[in-house]
Structure 1
Amino acid sequence: MVEIKTDTALDAMREAGRVVAHALAAAKEAAKVGASLLDLDEAARAVLAKAGARSPFLGYRPSFAPTPFPAVICTSVNDALVHGVPTGYRLRDGDLVSVDCGAELDGWTGDAAVSFTVGTARPADTALIEATRQALDAGIAAAVPGNRVGDISHAVGAIARSARCGMPTDFGGHGIGRRMHEEPPVPNRGRPGRGFPLRHGLVLAIEPMLMAGGRDAYRTDPDGWTLRTADGSRAAHIEHTVAVTDSGPRILTLP
């Protein structure tokens, strides 16, 4: 069932989204050469605790996962695509890091992700991150009343194709509200004019995941969570929680 949110609910989700934005900023600030991925998780935990927010990631266990997720953020490094588990791995100069974070505040949820380079950036990584950002921007621009989910999916996929990047076919965005994952699904590929109709009050997490090697294939680490590109190429993941409104898309996870 798809829940259409009231304007009051959108305002409440904005507060949850603000916590997510601050947690991501804290994790990025902590991402120095030599810092461990656990340091990034601790930085995000401190933001959530200060805001009185709960992590929808911590303890989350979808059907594909062998164990509950042990952290409040996902940290995916270099060829890791999504769902990276924070470990004692210490960041190196040039690492490409994607951090995904959620927060639940007063019964409403926000979800967002950022990708960035630690230290000296490779030009190819900068281009990959920019293509992922452009794909997200295109998806957000399509999130207007009168369109359908397929229009968002098509916009995201068109940017990925033009950048000659691969994308996983079975992971994408989703509805969001009282729970982190709600209906409808928001694939990163689709046909315009198809899928669930967009209307004022629908809230979606739009999240392009681009793989520089151009292939769509990925593999799963022994931890059962971390997804890596099958060809070892780098990956980027950027996400916002976005409300469809009559005055245009409203991004709820900005700082």
Structure 2
Amino acid sequence: MQDDALARAWLRGFARAVEEGEEKLTALDSAIGDGDHGINMRRGTGQVRRMLLRDQATAESSGELLGEAGLLLRDHVGGAAGVLYGSAFQAIGAALGDRTGAAQLGDALQAGLDAVVRLGAAAAGDKTMVDAYGPAVTSFRAVCSQGGNLGEATTAAAAAAAAGARTTIPMQARKGRASYLGYRSIGHLDPGAASTAMLFRTLAEEVKAGPDRDLSFVRIACMPGV
């Protein structure tokens, strides 16, 4: 991330995706949770969008911007989702700092995943956002290790997150409110995994639009130090 242009676009895109998908997320959460995931996520991402409008002329590194977004998500999403999303963005921002390049973004995304796993005590197969986030990071870093570029890495991550979210449908929840339902949680898409798929989809979409913002680094290989 050469400057904060991609980070800003990603945050705006995610806020837009949450707004458009609010009813879907709420419906998913109504089936196996408290029924407020869409509402809460929109409230938090709405605060992020307002922050971007307020500070649109302020020069910040990508890391600082993502960290500030994390604080807003923690404060305004509420509940477990607020803590998990907020901590993920704070960890991403802290790991990224003012570093540049796709390999560094991969490291930062891994730091975000580590924060979610640590705080949620969740693992793959527990029917949580980890089931979408984990495959996304693995795919992103695999493309980088094979010499792919940022566009290819984020596209692979988005596809893996979507596929990972779908794998939660036949799972029985072992964490969170859904775990109280036992076998009745089977057959439902996890709402946190669904919103995580939105997160990686919007990152891929904004990277694809990168040349329009003159982000030439989007097209270079994911090599360390780039």
The answer, yes or no, to whether TM exceeds 0.5 is no
Class of the TM-score when normalised by the shorter of the 2 chains: 0.3 to 0.5
Structure (1 or 2) with the greater strand fraction: 1
TM-score (norm 2): 0.36
Structure (1 or 2) with the greater helix fraction: 2
TM-score (norm 1): 0.33
